[in-house]
């Protein structure tokens, strides 16, 4: 096992349950230009990550609420059972410093293909401006390709458009509207 192999993949040294099989991330590392990034390792979200302040990291992105450990574990197991949820975390010295999520949607169109949604990209404040966010997006892009998604979409604030354009995302002419209803 080389240094790169030890940086991306399963969380075999962590007790608990991974949200998805870390072998998917190892395949990405083997088939792409993604390499190790210092002491940072990339792995699936683990059921023990509540105790590693995963939700505090997400609170740097948006409102999380008062989610207790039982709620976290219940949602974790629902996501694992349902499939199609790939939450990747970046860990440095036993601290979760970044996260990004790929959610796959089963479609009838495009020959019953999968559509990928990039969600919840966040890097811990003190680790920003080190290209970690861009690397997280790259891992998600490779994972979406590996899972044979026909496209990967995202919604973002206007100030983040250039960040995502640098990762290859483009606004589609005539299809640039995002609408929602919040409940």
Whether the pLDDT of residue 28 is over 70: the answer is: yes
Whether the pLDDT of residue 44 is over 50: the answer is: yes
The number of folded domains in the chain is 1
As given in the structure block, the two tokens for residue 175 are: 């299809």
Domain carrying residue 122: 3-165
Query: What CATH code is carried by the domain that includes residue 148?
Result: 3.40.630.30
With respect to residue 182, please indicate whether it lies within any of the assigned structural domains: no
As given in the structure block, the two tokens for residue 181 are: 């209803």
With respect to residue 180, please indicate whether it lies within any of the assigned structural domains: no
Count the Cβ atoms, other than its own, within 10 Å of residue 4: 15
With respect to residue 175, please indicate whether it lies within any of the assigned structural domains: no
As given in the structure block, the two tokens for residue 109 are: 């169109």
With respect to residue 136, please indicate whether it lies within any of the assigned structural domains: yes
Count the Cβ atoms, other than its own, within 10 Å of residue 14: 17
Task: Determine which of 4-8, 17-21, 153-157, 169-173 has the lowest per-residue pLDDT on average.
Answer: 4-8
């Amino acid at each position: 096992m080389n240094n790169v192999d030890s940086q991306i993949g399963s969380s075999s040294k962590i007790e608990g349950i991974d949200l998805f099989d870390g072998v998917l991330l190892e395949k990405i590392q083997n088939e792409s230009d993604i390499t190790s990034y210092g002491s940072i390792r990339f792995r699936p979200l683990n059921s023990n990550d509540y105790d590693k302040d995963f939700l505090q990291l997400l609170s740097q992105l948006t409102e999380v609420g008062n989610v207790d450990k039982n709620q976290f574990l219940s949602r974790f197991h629902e996501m694992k059972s349902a499939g199609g949820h790939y939450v990747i975390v970046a860990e440095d010295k036993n601290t979760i410093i970044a996260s990004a999520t790929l959610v796959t949607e089963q479609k009838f169109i495009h020959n019953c293909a999968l559509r990928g949604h990039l969600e919840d990209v966040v890097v811990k404040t003190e680790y920003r401006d080190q290209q970690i966010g861009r690397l997280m997006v790259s891992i998600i892009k490779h994972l979406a390709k590996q899972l044979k998604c026909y496209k990967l979409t995202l919604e973002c604030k206007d100030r983040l458009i250039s960040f995502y354009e640098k990762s290859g995302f483009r606004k589609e002419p005539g299809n640039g509207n995002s609408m929602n209803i919040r409940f």
